[in-house]
Structure 1
């Protein structure tokens, strides 16, 4: 979850005249667009940024964080959580980019699902995907657990 939270955060970037110089030419607000990592070691090789001025509208993959699993009626009955989406794409004003969106599972029972239109976000955010696309569903008990119950 760390890299996806990083990709939805704004940063202040200092542009210097030379590598070792203390002379700052410009302060730029940026959003990380892509994180390039070594496949074997997961070491960060490069980060690609885009400028994010206050008046910009940016397409952002906002990560989803699931809460309320411990009190969900469906999960308490032995069902399991089927996470369909880990992030949702929005068109966001640069000043209102959420670092993440909480998905509250505390009211979901067996067979119920949440769709993208159910997510609670700032009204200025425009969903780019279909609002009827599922995000998460509480599925019936696992087959192995059903056999144990018999």
Structure 2
């Protein structure tokens, strides 16, 4: 299931560019929590915490519990991070508040099972992965660590699609209206070696000298 990451934050009282600059002068990153038909919550974050999450990758799909000092923790998604144009440091963070029962949009990695017993791969076929992640709308309490696709019976030419995922955990793919491709088992690529080029015949470039050794001088015309 998706991991909830807890972030400690401080409350901010004022909005606006001036207040945001004052927050940055204190060494903090201004942020806001919005959505779910509630008033926006202004907060300030430790920049080290923000950078730690950004370095993990996939931060837009993580579920956060933002705990503001003196207030209740709120479940959110980190939707946007603004960066300084010169230093590339984060200067503002937007969180989207999750309403009760709301689904989240996440990218779930794909795990392939039983590659060692796949008849297609054992015959020399190649696993062609089309999607290493599948983007879905899912219940935040029921997001798997990975979608599993079993290759145990996949022969050469097999197509593994969304319907081949063993357990979809009630998630709905963002791609709608078709059973999209996840991977396939392709035939091995045979590379034919080019035949070596035939050696060109060596043409004789020297004229055969007449008997007697030296070449004969051209005859003089009679006057």
State if a TM-score over 0.5 links the two structures. yes
Paired residue for 2:144?
A: 98
Paired residue for 1:137?
A: 184
Query: Normalised by the size of structure 2, how large is the TM-score?
Result: 0.48
Is 2:173 the partner of 1:127? Answer: yes
The size of the alignment, in residue pairs, is 131
Which one of the candidate residues 103, 106, 109 is aligned to 1:63?
Answer: 109
CA distance in structure 2 between the partners assigned to 1:139 and 1:125 by the alignment: 28
How big is the shift at 1:132?
1.8
1:1-150 alignment to 2 at 5 Å? Answer: 3-4=57-58, 8-15=61-68, 23-33=69-79, 49-119=95-165, 120-122=167-169, 124-129=170-175, 130-144=177-191, 147=192
Paired residue for 1:40?
A: none
Partner-residue secondary structure (3-state), 1:70:
helix
Instruction: Point out where structure 2 has 5 or more consecutive residues left out of the alignment.
Output: 1-55, 194-223
Query: Normalised by the size of structure 1, how large is the TM-score?
Result: 0.68
How big is the shift at 1:64?
1.3
How big is the shift at 1:26?
2.9
> Which has the higher relative contact order, 1 or 2, with Cα contacts under 8 A spaced 6 or more apart?
1
How big is the shift at 1:101?
1.0
Partner-residue secondary structure (3-state), 2:163:
helix
Partner-residue secondary structure (3-state), 1:110:
coil
**Change beyond 3 A, Cα 1:141–1:94:** same
**Change beyond 3 A, Cα 1:44–1:131:** farther
Contact 2:106 2:135 in 1 (8 A): yes
Contact 2:62 2:106 in 1 (8 A): no
Greater Rg by CA: 2
CA distance in structure 2 between the partners assigned to 1:36 and 1:67 by the alignment: 39
Instruction: Point out where structure 1 has 5 or more consecutive residues left out of the alignment.
Output: 16-22, 38-42
